[in-house]
Structures are given as structure tokens and as C-alpha cells.
Amino acid sequence: MRLTSRTDYALRAVMELAIAGEEPLTTIALGKSQGIPSSYLGAVLAQLRRAGIVTARRGAEGGWALAKSPKLITLADVIRAVDGTLTNVAGTRPEQLNYKGAAKGLREVLIAIRAAEREILEGVSLADAVAQRFPSRIKRLLDNPSAWR
């Protein structure tokens, strides 16, 4: 799996917002806490707002906050809001690919990769990730030493 900087910034920012609770954080504060350029982060947060993940409040008490409980927002929700579909090949969804000859089985492998990504990313909420509280199937993956290399 390959995440763009934009997606990495989005994930890190919403995790900061999850910790903040209902207290809004400014773009500058979010950027500073995660070492993200605030000028770039503003565009990412605007995209997350359009997707209904965060809300913006104007004024002296303003800033960004999650639009709903961090228990109800999955990592997949954030990734899709910023990057679209989880798995694609040059913008094409795996089930729409038609390989020939020796590469014919590649489509099924790509579909399986997407299913595995969904299982993990849809199974972890922001609250889970912040608390480092993961489902047993993810813990099993993390317990395998080869996962860390």
C-alpha cells in the first residue's frame, strides 16, 4: 500500500482532532503538532470538510473539529475522502481490469489486496488508532516479526 503525503497528513490531522475532542484546533496548531506545513494542511482539511469528516468553526474560538465521534470514523473513511478508492490500477478499479495470458490471475490478486485493505482500514476507527487498540486479526498481523521488515 502506498499513501500520498496528502493522505498521511489527513490521517495524522484527524487523529489529533480525535484526541482534542470537541475543542476545535486551528490549522496552525494541527500543523505544528504533527510537523505538517499549515498552508498545505488547510487544503487537506477543506477536502475532509467536504467529505463530512471534519467541521470548521470561524472566529476567535474557531478551528477544526471532527464532525462525529472518532469511534464512527474509520481510517478507510479518511483515505477515501482524500484519495478516493482504496485500490486501483492507473485509476481503474481491480474488478474492471481484464488481463490476458500469463497476467490473467493478477486481477484476482488485486481484488484480494483490496479486500485485505478494506478489512483492516474499515475495521479501525480513529478512536481505536489513537488508543492503539486493534482488533485481534490486526494484532495477529502485528505479532508477526516479518510485518516489521
Residue 130 has a pLDDT of: 97
Query: pLDDT digit string (tens) for 54-99?
Result: 999 887 778 999 999 999 999 999 999 999 888 888 888 888 899 9
CA distance 96 to 106: 12
Residue 77 has a pLDDT of: 97
Asked if 48 and 34 count as a contact pair (C-beta separation under 8 A), the reply is no
CATH 1.10.10.10 fits 5-148, yes or no: yes
Query: pLDDT digit string (tens) for 128-137?
Result: 999 999 999 9
Q: Which residues pair with 86 in a beta bridge?
A: none
Q: Where are the domains of the chain?
A: 5-148
Q: Could you tell me how many residues make up the chain?
A: 149
**What angle do helix axes 27-34 and 5-20 make, rounded to 10 degrees?**
110
Query: pLDDT digit string (tens) for 111-131?
Result: 999 999 999 999 999 999 999
CA distance 36 to 31: 4
59 burial class (0-12, 13-18, 19+ CB within 10 angstroms)?
Answer: exposed
| Mean pLDDT, all residues of the chain | 93
Residue 35 has a pLDDT of: 95
What is each CA distance from 7 to 1, 48, 76, 101, 143, in whole angstroms?
A: 12, 10, 11, 35, 26
Expressed in angstroms, the distance from the first to the final Cα of the chain is 14
